[in-house]
Amino acid sequence: MRRAKGCMAARRGPSAAGMRPLLALLALPAAFGVPSDAGAAPRLELAITMDDLPAHGDLPAGETRLSVVRSLLAAFKAAGVPEVYGFVNGALVEQDPALERVLAAWREAGYPLANHGWSHARLDSLPLGQEEAEVARNEPLLARMNGTADWRWFRYPYLAEGDDPGRRAAMRSILARRSYRIAQVTMSYWDYEYDEAYRRCRDKGDEGGTAELERLFLHSVEQGIEYWLSLSRAVHGRDMRFVLLTHVSAINARMMPRVLALYRRAGFRFVTLAHAERDPAYAADLDPSRPPALDLERAPRALPVVPRYEPAERLEGLCR
Ligand SMILES: [Zn+2]
């Protein structure tokens, strides 16, 4: 899906925080405890997931959907990431069957695929009764591509679980009946905000602009760590196991080796989605027949939360 605002547009956070120098967060662990424990045993756990397979966001000239995914897979393998779930919109493959090659590359790397809805529709905006078809229509493709790998995880498009309690419960009962678990999101760096500016910078051959964009991007990764750690501590009083949302985008393909190194430096080790979601904080996601858990971004908080960094203003003028 070509979505200017990406998966999480429905859940934009509070207003912009100031830009601070790169790595400032990791050098200043006192305020919110973001670690800078290079050399120490990792004490934080992160499951990595990617959305919108087989195609997300703007594609710079010279790149293909397959080249993007191959770069991503190479980065994950080089960093020893044990598993990366790829969440699929099957409608893209129906529109362009050649894109099935992207899914095949994912599987050849040994990573599993799961369900992100057939057409990336917001489930709570569909006419009543059509939600289940949006989930079910993806299943033959997932079953065929995955073999014995477990594809019964669902990632809500736009992370929109619905504000109406009745619709939200109805959707959960559909997922429970079809034996899904919900792939929650508790870590992100809002990568989709960079897609358009990155394509502009590359198409223009603007090396200075690209370098500035890379700097902002890595700042978002660092600041995302600080934001989600502070949320976890404010809501749960501890560091939960985290689940990272990213997208199969060209900017992620370029930056992933540096992104993974940054998480490592911050004290994370990479784990599977099932391992992360065995954290008790995700009990309602593992069993959708239960009432929904607290939304981490909306839950009452006992501690202050770091405001998230929003790069839109800086990106707007970049590589014009
Ligand atoms: Zn998505």
Residue 6 clears pLDDT 60, i.e. is over it: no
- Give the 3-state secondary structure of residue 28: coil
Kindly report the average pLDDT of the chain as a whole number. 89
pLDDT at residue number 128: 84
DSSP 286-310: H-TTSPPPPPTTTS--SS--PPPP-
As a whole number, mean pLDDT of residues 77-102 equals 98
pLDDT at residue number 35: 52
pLDDT tier, 56 (very low <50, low <70, confident <90, very high otherwise): very high
Helix pair angle (250-265, 207-236), 10° resolution:
50
Cα 173 to ligand 1 centroid, rounded to whole Å: 21
pLDDT tier, 14 (very low <50, low <70, confident <90, very high otherwise): very low
44-53 and 84-88 strand pairing: parallel
Cα 92 to ligand 1 centroid, rounded to whole Å: 12
Cα 314 to ligand 1 centroid, rounded to whole Å: 24
pLDDT tens-place string over residues 181-233: 999 999 999 999 999 999 999 999 999 999 999 999 999 999 999 999 999 99
Highest mean pLDDT among 10-24, 157-171, 272-286: 272-286
pTM: 0.90
Cα 66 to ligand 1 centroid, rounded to whole Å: 18
Q: How far apart are CA 149 and CA 134, in angstroms?
A: 21
CA nearest neighbour of 128 among 86, 81, 166: 166
Cα 118 to ligand 1 centroid, rounded to whole Å: 11
Q: How far apart are CA 112 and CA 88, in angstroms?
A: 10
pLDDT tens-place string over residues 228-272: 999 999 999 999 999 999 999 999 999 999 999 999 999 999 999
Q: How far apart are CA 8 and CA 245, in angstroms?
A: 9
Cα 159 to ligand 1 centroid, rounded to whole Å: 8
Q: How far apart are CA 230 and CA 32, in angstroms?
A: 6
CA nearest neighbour of 22 among 252, 262, 317, 310: 262
pLDDT tier, 145 (very low <50, low <70, confident <90, very high otherwise): very high
pLDDT tier, 41 (very low <50, low <70, confident <90, very high otherwise): confident
Cα 3 to ligand 1 centroid, rounded to whole Å: 9
Other Cβ atoms less than 10 A from the Cβ of 48: the count is 28
Helices (H), 119-206: 131-136, 139-146, 165-177, 195-204
The answer for 281, left when phi > 0, alpha when psi is -120 to 50, beta otherwise, is alpha
Q: How far apart are CA 94 and CA 55, in angstroms?
A: 12
Cα 6 to ligand 1 centroid, rounded to whole Å: 6
Please state, in angstroms and as integers, the Cα–Cα distance from residue 22 to each residue in 27, 35, 206, following that order.
10, 15, 21
Torsion of CA 53, 255, 238, 156, to 10 degrees: -20
pLDDT tier, 36 (very low <50, low <70, confident <90, very high otherwise): low
pLDDT at residue number 118: 98
- Give the 3-state secondary structure of residue 243: strand
Cα 52 to ligand 1 centroid, rounded to whole Å: 5
Helices and strands counted in the chain (H then E): 13, 8
Please tell me which residue, 305 or 15, carries the higher pLDDT value: 305
pLDDT at residue number 16: 36
Cα 133 to ligand 1 centroid, rounded to whole Å: 17
Long-range contacts of residues 214-217, Cβ cutoff 8 Å, at least 24 apart? 214/254, 214/255, 214/258, 215/22, 216/19, 216/311, 216/314, 216/315, 217/189, 217/191, 217/251, 217/255
- Give the 3-state secondary structure of residue 46: strand
Report all structural domains of the chain as residue ranges with CATH numbers, in order of start.
43-195+240-291 (3.20.20.370)
E strands, the chain, in order: 44-53, 84-88, 113-115, 153-154, 181-182, 187-188, 242-247, 268-271
pLDDT tier, 19 (very low <50, low <70, confident <90, very high otherwise): very low
Cα 30 to ligand 1 centroid, rounded to whole Å: 35
